[in-house]
Amino acid sequence: MENLVESLDPPYYMAALNERQYGIKDKEEIAPTDRMVSLAMRQKGFLGLNSTRDKKGEKTTISYWRDIDDIEMWINVGEHKITHQFGVGLAETCSIKVSLIENDATNNNFNQILQKFNKCVFSKIKKISEQLS
């Protein structure tokens, strides 16, 4: 199976999404970061995503985007949804770091890390998306 990063032609944007406050969930046990992931998959300019957990068990989700305006729209929609659903702002629950990828990443360590991402997270994301629909 081809790695997502290998199939993307630069330039594109990468947005790293991490939880800031752990344990915040709604009545369906959905965390703000999970909500942001489900929103990303429905936004214009979304190219795909990968997720992983570090040695401490903390999840990082990397989403890929066509341009910065698409990321800004995703964040704006997310801010409204997170505030409404969880009663706190996006900035209090999630951190999002955006990077422009201008070169092919297939031959560096970052690509090797992406190849190790946890594949079972995709089934969880699909389940969450179905619950939110």
For residue 51, the cross-strand partners are 61
H or E segment at 78?
helix 68-86
Instruction: Estimate to the nearest angstrom the gap between the alpha carbon of 124 and the chain centroid.
Output: 13
Q: What is the pLDDT along the chain (133 residues), one digit of tens a residue?
A: 357 777 888 999 999 998 876 666 656 667 888 889 999 999 999 999 998 888 887 788 999 999 999 999 999 999 999 888 888 888 888 889 999 998 765 555 555 555 554 444 555 566 676 677 6
What pLDDT, on the 0 to 100 scale, is given for residue 42?
A: 94
* pTM: predicted TM-score of the whole model, two decimal places: 0.70
Question: The domain 4-128 is classified under which CATH number: 3.40.50.720, 3.40.605.10, 3.30.70.100, 3.30.70.1450?
Answer: 3.30.70.100
